[in-house]
């Protein structure tokens, strides 16, 4: 990933705003793709920029703080509901990686971006 997690969070908001403002846009499919890809990446990271520290498998402290800030700054959004529920879920597991994260993501029709090469513009 070549952008910061803060920029990634901004892109989730941008695409969610676009989808909400233009629900019948000709490029709605593309907008939904980018929204979902950025949201999935924000939740799971990518191979070169992980959300969970590789050594101790805990969510990185800066990512925890980013999630809290996102939730506070962006009320009444679909993405905020997902991020808030995700934060509560990982908090319940002491912020450690566990296999049930994939089940959480699947519940929202999301998947991990680890090992995935997203489309480039």
Secondary structure (3-state) at 36: helix
Question: Are 97 and 54 in contact, with CB atoms under 8 Å apart?
Answer: no
Coil, helix or strand for 118?
A: coil
Identify the pLDDT of residue 112. Answer: 87
The residue ranges of the chain whose pLDDT is under 50 are none
Q: What is the pLDDT of residue 68?
A: 97
pLDDT of the residue at 121: 54
Total-model pTM: 0.91
Q: Which of 49, 71, 70, 69 is nearest to 60 (CA)?
A: 49
Contacts of 74 (CB under 8 A, 6+ apart): 13, 80
CA 76/CA 116 separation, integer angstroms: 30
């Amino acid at each position: 990933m070549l952008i910061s997690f803060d920029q990634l969070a901004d892109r989730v908001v941008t695409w969610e705003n676009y989808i909400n403002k233009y629900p019948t846009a000709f490029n709605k499919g593309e907008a939904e793709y980018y929204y979902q890809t950025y949201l999935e990446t924000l939740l799971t990271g990518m191979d070169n920029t992980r959300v969970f520290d590789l050594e101790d498998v805990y969510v990185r402290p800066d990512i925890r703080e980013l999630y809290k800030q996102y939730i506070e700054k962006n009320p009444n959004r679909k993405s905020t509901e997902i991020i808030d529920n995700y934060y509560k879920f990982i908090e319940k597991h002491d912020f450690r990686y566990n296999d049930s994260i994939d089940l959480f993501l699947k519940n929202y029709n999301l998947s991990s971006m680890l090992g995935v090469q997203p489309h480039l513009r």
